[in-house]
Amino acid sequence: MFKRFKRKPFFTKEEKDYIVNAIRVAEHTTSGEIRLFIEHKCKYVDALDRAAEIFYTLKMDKTQLQNGVLLYVAVDDKQLAIFGDKGIYKKIDRQYWENQVQKMINQIKAGQLLSGISNCIGEIGATLKEQFPYDASIDKNELPDEIVFGN
């Protein structure tokens, strides 16, 4: 008979709260929406393809201004991607996103998963603020701020 081993959770409760707070702070001054999806292994060869699948599964393409951004991290496979909606790519070029991914990779390689994720969220929030500023008369939190965990 084989024993099943339960995997260690990705984050402690305090770390989860820290990341969710980073998302809330980043979204506070923008109409943009940021979500984080974390899983152990990437089901695809290309993490960007997996991020796109998750983006549409989570219905992130349904925001009013098409300004949702998904951070995707496959911890065991050491893969990550950032996928944004159509409205994002009309205003922010591909190089910006590639730079954000590289910054996060560098921090994760240095053993700083939590700060790599939260710093990336903060920088994306600042950029979204420039391109999609908060408008109290129409803006609402269209997507949940909680982390989504895969397998």
Instruction: Give me the domain span that covers residue 43.
Output: 13-133
Query: Does residue 142 lie within any of the structural domains?
Result: no
Segment 93-106, tens digit of pLDDT: 989 999 999 999 99
In a domain, 99, yes or no: yes
**Inside any domain, residue 63:** yes
Q: Please list, residue by residue across 40-77, b when 16 or more beta carbons sit within 10 angstroms of its beta carbon and e when fewer do.
A: eebeeeebbebbbebbeebebeebebbbbbbbbbbbee
pTM to 2 decimal places = 0.91
In a domain, 6, yes or no: no
Model confidence pLDDT, tens digit, residues 28-81: 999 999 999 999 999 888 999 999 999 999 999 999 999 999 999 998 888 999
CATH of the domain at 17: 3.10.310.50
How many structural domains compose the chain?
1
